[in-house]
Amino acid sequence: MRLKDIELNKADLMRIIQETVPGKQITMAHVIASPDSIIYKKLGLDPKIDYNRAAIGILTVTPSETAIIAADIAIKTSAIDIGFIDRFSGTLIITGMISDVSIALESILRYAQNTLGFDVCNVTKA
């Protein structure tokens, strides 16, 4: 039976309000190792970087306010800089040495999974 095959009169109609409730998850954790300088410039990040040893870390979280917690964990666990944080979209961009960015992302994932009960993805690297 298809929906269009159902005949309803006005008395049979029901109003349904649908809400989306975000899950608790980290959907992307990625390290861009030794990025080209144009990526830094286009993202508005500090272009005075040793690009051969530098990295950009990108994280996407839901609920989006968790990006604030993730930034705090990143700063406290590694020598990174916050490039961008958006509490409305759940995006966090961090910069630093490749090892520091990797450590920061792993620390965020571990805390989110073990303490906050989040579903997390693996860190990917390019």
- The whole-number pLDDT of residue 9 equals 64
pLDDT tops 60 at residue 19: no
In the Cβ-directed half-sphere of 40, how many Cα atoms lie within 13 Å? 19
pLDDT tens-place string over residues 110-121: 999 999 999 999
Domain membership flag for residue 10 = no
Q: What's the CATH code of the domain at 51?
A: 3.30.70.1710
Domain membership flag for residue 20 = no
Q: Do 80 and 45 contact (CB within 8 A), yes or no? A: no
pLDDT tops 90 at residue 60: yes
Domain membership flag for residue 67 = yes
Q: What is the Cα–Cα distance from 99 to 45, expressed in whole angstroms?
A: 19
Global pTM reads 0.79
pLDDT level of residue 22 (50, 70, 90 thresholds): low
pLDDT tens-place string over residues 90-117: 999 999 999 999 999 999 999 999 999 9
